[in-house]
Amino acid sequence: MGYEANIKSAQSGRRQRLVIVISLVALSTAFFVVISLLQPPSSIKNGVENGVKRNARMAAALSSTVEATADSVITTIDHPAFEIIETDHISEFGASSTLYRHKKSGAEMLSLSTDDDNKCFGITFRTPPQDSTGVPHILEHSVLCGSRKYKTKDPFVQLLQGSLQTFLNAFTYPDRTCYVVASQNTKDFYNLINVYADAVFHPRAISDPMVHAQEGWHLELENVEDELTYKGVVYNEMKGVYSSPDSLLQREAQQSIFPDNAYGVDSGGDPVDIPNLSFEQFAEFHSKFYHPANSRIFFSGDDDVAKRLEIMDEYLSDFEDSPESKPGSAIEWQKKRFAEPVRVRHPYPVSDKGEDGQADTHLMMVNWLMNDKPLTPLEEITSSILDHLLMGTSSSILYKSLMESGLGDAITGGGLANELLQGTFSVGLKGVKPEDVDTVEALVVDILKKVAEEGFTEDAIAASMNTIEFDMREFNTGSFPKGLSLMLGSMREWVYDRNPTNALKFEEPLAELKESIAKDGSKIFQDMIKEALLDNSHRTTVEMYPSKTMEEEQLKEEKDRLATIKDSLKEDELQSIIDKTAELKKLQAAEDSPEERATIPSLDLTDLRKEVTEYPIEVTANEADTGVTVVRHELGSTSGIVYAKLAVDMSGVSLEDVAILPLLTRIMMETGAGEYDSVDLSRRIGTHTGGVSVSSMISGVNQEGADEGAVTTGEHFVTKLLISGKSTSDKTEELFSIFDLILRDAKLDSQSKIIEMLKESKSRGESAIQGSGHAVANSRIRSRYNVLGYISEKMGGVSSLDTVKALLDQAENDFPALLARLENVRSTILESSTCRDGMILDLTGDASVFEKIEPSVKNFLNTLPGDSSEGAVKLQNFYSEAHPWAKQAKEEMAAQAPITDEGFVVPTQVSYVGKGGRLYDVGEAVSGASSVVSRFLGTGYMWDNVRVMGGAYGGFAQFQPRDGVFSFLSYRDPNLADTIDVYDGASAALMTSAADLEKDPDALATAIIGAMGDMDGALGPDQKGSLQFNRWLKRESPEQRQKFRDEILNTKPSDFKEFAERLKAMKDPSSAVVSSKSAFEDAFKSGKSFTLKDIM
């Protein structure tokens, strides 16, 4: 469950899909989600001659596209309870659509028929808030806590525990609430639909105040002499959100630009306002907005349309039509009414660094309301391409100019945000000196004026157009279901009472835009900059200034408020709170009865696929005597696209220089290469490919002769520099040429650009610690027990922040020394005698693609650096010998990653609590049953005790069979010491569960099914190739994969008991916690002490 903010922060590798927007904040999500920068664009000349040249050049740039989906015949399915409003065919995605209206209830339902077996269902309600009590968000959490048909306390978690779902969540936008499920198993899919449909229309929450108390907020008091406190899952979630400077900036930006409509308040809830929400108001909100007439019901996939209609009619027939529902939820347009731009200032919390500490800086962002009337499809696509031209890559003019100005450390604002009724455009900087805030604002406006006057170059337009068109045609949604992406895309129109399928169509407006560009160059973009931005006075500038007392003031305000409430209460009123606290805790701790559990629909073990899915792989060592190993994955169809990876060995790099690998991989993409400056390189990539990236990969491998299913020493691993990319088959020569160019000739000597990168990395790292402290804690814990964990943490964990700071100091004060290190790392990787032996070219495509690209592959292999035969030297065998980094890493671990309890102090209102240790020693076999048990702990004991009773937003249990290390984690947690006590009680609780499972085979089956669901997610073609490549690289046998799967399927209660015993006997346990200074002080009073480090 998540809260979706409107104005997004800039994120690395950011690319916005035009009509299919996926922006989810899921339960345990870290925020992923830039970057060379260009010279001022030259003017695009007018005239017939230049117009003809532009036309030909643009046509060439855009002629190579992904294979289009064939049209299909629309088959309409009728149902007596529904009337058909419209049928359509969305050729862009090969989908036939029918828009239905339920005659009795007035509900609308969009049914998309596709060949996708990952079936998706969603139901969306328009839910505009009137205040910042967070009622839409709290209701989103609460409706999934039991319903008319499904009687358990939390059907949502029962589904998490025992479903094959590929997506199961809900999320709150500023104006709507979405409930979405997906599954590849048809029986499971129907189970999920039924639970969600009953939940939204008939929730227990509207008649049981305890649900509102648990998920929203409640006053808690166990004894009269205790302090009164606020508790509640959403309350604590939003405390975490409001602890982040980036989130505070986004909130202020949105509310400043929308002073008159629903977007001017916080649908997620302001922690100060959440306690003002009464149960009566909460229930009334559901009554008003959760009527079927205010819903938009969505289906997509290869399931039976008639069955969709039958299922939904069962729920919708309970309701009469409500003609007032849609008008009652209509979103008012925010008029562009500012006569002149508005300035807003707001504090954000920082730690007191003392007199010698680094000066705190400001964040600022300039924001525009783009439109106050609906945009045409042409205007929609134009704004998205314009956004990419301005902000899409590090070479985009606005992004580049701001970063090169030296006025700040990192970009704020994600450019265009167009998921709501009205679009906004936001951009600024963080790490700004107070005296430079006005300068940044002026610079933003000046850059836009320059672009409006001079336009964009042909190359820039071609690159942006190809990038977005490739993205749309490929339709690669990663780990998210395609149906979910289609739903969110359609909702951008449908939720505002416009045609849902028009939002998914891009061919016609794209053709219009190409025609306009061919005729008038960049004029269409220049005109939009003038009209939507420069000539638009509905603009705000938000400045966030640091406050060393804000965190303390917030704590004091809350305590004073609660003390005032307590002082105003009579003895019987206090006793009532004590009684309700006890009642809530009793309900939370109570087990669902067998009869209640039986109401939740479930699968049987017989519904599970018993065999591991294997994907094609063909390995050719020393292909064509080049010394390079080529790995091919020939799939049924990849729509004319080849997915390629070049892996180059890095084992010769010293461990001291491992920490600069993240910097090197960014430099390879962002500073230019060979004859190309950063701008030209970025445009070449954008014009000819679907994207190129560089990363470093460290992968543990199975040691020769060792048991595949046993805990490894962590000393056997492979280390690769990975260049990845994709293109259509006719552009593979270009793709490989770019690979070779950035591998050999990336420019390492751009001091100013490297300083920009390091400042940005520092800013991002600090934000990650504050916003994703659970991931930071987990990484730190694992660094103490395993060489691989230590190296990974060194490169990307909390300790890497110190490395970034040191590198920044070196870049600013001794750049020649840093340059020498970078050059040495590259020359070591490209050592001619060894580099080809460590090279692997991994290719994923279909038969037609492989046939077409073969000449390009042969040419690429022959032109790669290194000796192919004479003079070539074999690298060590990493599968039989320890990696060169392992010995030194083991020596460093004692000093750099001691097994101790550490606390990392940041300004925050919540905690991220981690504790872990070793459960299995090296060489001990780990059964697949361990996956079932650890998942059972996470979705059961941790959910109940850390989230439901503890009030944290999330609680997790993570176990890695390869290293034998287990960790407990919490996310946005109001507790610290109490949470550690919960962790310490897990073994006893698990032992009790083991005994209970002996008498409850259905519960055991549920746990097994859930674990199997985690193994079998839907994969795109590139993911299938990557998965099989990684299996091969690790030397993981199909037999071992099947053995592990069989062990999951055959899990027994005794496996739970054994795991519980290992938890009780956990070796060398230690903690890592991200929290505030005051929380650590309170924990110390409870007997929990930590070695503290001030991070910010």
pLDDT digits (tens, 9 = 90+) for 579-628: 999 999 999 999 999 899 999 999 999 999 999 999 999 999 999 999 99
| Per-residue confidence (pLDDT) for residue 1, from 0 to 100 | 64
CA dihedral angle for residue 588, residue 594, residue 599, residue 600, rounded to 10 degrees: 70
Can you give the pLDDT at residue 54? 30
Q: What is the pLDDT of residues 791-800, one digit of tens each?
A: 999 999 999 9
Among 108, 140, 458, 543, the one annotated catalytic: 140
Exposed / middle / buried, residue 610 (Cβ in 10 Å: 0-12, 13-18, 19+): exposed
Is residue 142 predicted with pLDDT exceeding 70? yes
How much is the pLDDT for 786? Answer: 92
- pLDDT-derived band of residue 53, with 50, 70 and 90 as boundaries? very low
Beta strands in 709-857 (DSSP E): 717-728, 840-846
Res 867: pLDDT: 87
* Residue 919 burial (C-beta neighbours within 10 Å; 0-12, 13-18, 19+): buried
Per-residue pLDDT of 339-357, as tens digits, reads: 999 999 999 999 876 655 6
Per the prediction, the chain carries an average pLDDT of 91
pLDDT-based confidence at 55, cuts 50/70/90?
Answer: very low
| pLDDT given for residue 870 in this prediction | 66
Which segment of 70-74, 349-353, 373-377, 931-935 scores lowest on mean pLDDT? Answer: 70-74
Q: At 61, phi and psi to the nearest 5? A: -65, -30
Q: Provide the whole-model pTM.
A: 0.91
**Among the options 4, 215, 715, 793, which is catalytic?**
215
pLDDT at 18: 32
Residue 225 is among the residues annotated as catalytic for this protein: no
Per-residue pLDDT band for 82 (boundaries 50, 70, 90) equals very high
| DSSP per position, 945-1012 | IIIITT--SEEEEEEETTTTEEEEEEESBS-SHHHHHHHHTHHHHHHHHHHHHHT-HHHHHHHHHHHH
β pairing state of 840-846 and 641-649: antiparallel
Give the mean pLDDT of 996-1022. 93
What pLDDT, on a 0 to 100 scale, did the predictor assign at position 479?
Answer: 80
The number of C-alpha atoms within 13 Å of 796 and in the hemisphere containing its C-beta is 14
CA distance 945 to 517: 59
Lowest mean pLDDT among 533-542, 588-597, 875-884: 588-597
Does residue 34 have a pLDDT over 50? no
For the stretch 403-422, pLDDT in tens is 999 999 999 998 999 999 99
Question: Look-up: residue for tokens 């450390």?
Answer: 409
Whether the CB-CB separation of 234 and 139 falls below 8 Å is answered with no
Q: Which of left, alpha, beta for 896 (phi over 0: left; psi -120 to 50: alpha)? A: alpha
What is the full DSSP assignment across 877-918? -TTTS--HHHHHHHHHHHHHS-SS-EEEE-S-SSBEEEEEEE
Using the predicted structure, report yes or no on whether residue 971 has a pLDDT greater than 80: yes
pLDDT, residue 873, reads: 86
One-letter identity of residue 105: S
Position 71 confidence tier, pLDDT thresholds 50, 70, 90:
very low
Phi/psi-derived region of residue 1093, left when phi > 0, alpha when psi is between -120 and 50, beta in every other case: beta
Neighbours of 487 (CB within 10 A): 28
Give percent of the chain with pLDDT exceeding 90. Answer: 89
- Give residue 250's pLDDT: 95
CB of 522 closer than 8 Å to CB of 456: yes
The secondary structure of residue 492, as a DSSP letter, is: H
Is 435 a residue of the active site?
no
682 confidence band (pLDDT: 50, 70, 90): very high
Residue 251: pLDDT over 80? yes
The pLDDT confidence band at residue 66, using thresholds 50, 70 and 90, is very low
Does position 359 have pLDDT exceeding 90, yes or no? no
- Percent of the chain surpassing pLDDT 70: 92
For residues 678 and 545, what is the distance between their CA atoms, to the nearest angstrom?
A: 33
- pLDDT score recorded for residue 11: 30
Which band of pLDDT confidence, cut at 50, 70 and 90, is reported for residue 51?
very low
Rounded Cα distance, 408 and 400, in Å: 12
Check whether 16 has a pLDDT greater than 70: no
Q: How confident is the model at residue 1096 (pLDDT cuts 50, 70, 90)?
A: confident
pLDDT of residue 226: 94
Alpha carbons 1080 and 976: distance in angstroms, whole number: 8
Our CA angle for 564, 235, 346, nearest 5°, is: 80
Confidence of residue 74 (pLDDT cuts 50, 70, 90): low
How does residue 48 score in pLDDT terms, banded at 50, 70 and 90?
very low
